[in-house]
Amino acid sequence: MSISVTTWHLEQTSPADLSPAQAPPAEQDVRIVRSEVPSPEFSRFLYTAVGGDIAWTDRLTWPYAQWAEFLGRPGVETWVAYERGTPAGFIELAGEADGSVEITYFGLVPAFRGRRIGGHLLAYGIERAWDLAERWPGRAPTKRVWLHTCSKDGPHAMANYQRRGFRLYDTKVAEEDGIPAPGPWPGAGPITGPTTTGTPAGE
């Protein structure tokens, strides 16, 4: 069965386009670290943990060698947010020789959504997209940061990107095969109990 999918393309063309986000409360101890050693195992874990319930299926068929080839490309970076040492989400960047940087994937593990980590991670990742050339000698400075999101993504995705200063520049509608999302690990969801600091739903 096919479904109609709308894809939106957004961009920033200057570092000044970025709107900063409020950091999570200090007691959450949220840190963002670059995964500098390419690891297909870790990247596939992040991809499935974040995207299981929001129809991320494109890379599920990638063999190990394809993951390794992509992650080893110059200009590809994975930045991971940790809350008290536990992976909470990630943002993946792919820089091109022409000075454009694509945010290829961004999202949070379901249990960490609504804890004010998303906006902070996204803003930090955009900053790293703009200064990506500083970590890759000989590379042209970033001229443009772009991404696409679609109607299969989370309901807040488009608004989150626009709050950080992205502008819509193209919209496409296409019919796609209705491949079911694998879904989250049964029982996965928001953290509850005495370990949570409790923040309103949202970023």
Cα–Cα distance measured from residue 153 to residue 106, given in angstroms and rounded to the nearest whole number = 11
Q: What is the DSSP string of 27-41?
A: GG-EEEEE--S--HH
What domain range is 114 assigned to? 2-21+30-177
Whether 201 shows a pLDDT value over 80: the answer reads no
pLDDT score recorded for residue 26 = 96
The answer to the question of residue 52 being in a domain is yes
Percentage of the residues of the chain whose pLDDT score is greater than 70:
86
Q: Please, are residues 49 and 87 in contact by the beta-carbon 8 Å criterion?
A: yes
Tell me the per-residue pLDDT of 124-183, one tens digit each, with 9 for 90 and over.
999 999 999 999 999 999 999 999 998 877 777 889 999 999 999 999 998 877 666 666
- What is the crossing angle of helices 40-51 and 64-71, to 10°? 100
Query: Alpha-carbon torsion 109, 112, 116, 120, what sign?
Result: negative
Residue positions counted in the chain? 203
Region 88-92 average pLDDT: 98
Whether 122 shows a pLDDT value over 70: the answer reads yes
The answer to the question of residue 119 being in a domain is yes
Q: What is the DSSP letter of 189?
A: -
The answer to the question of residue 198 being in a domain is no
> The CATH number of the domain where 159 resides is what?
3.40.630.30
Cα–Cα distance measured from residue 95 to residue 47, given in angstroms and rounded to the nearest whole number = 19
Domains in the chain, number: 1
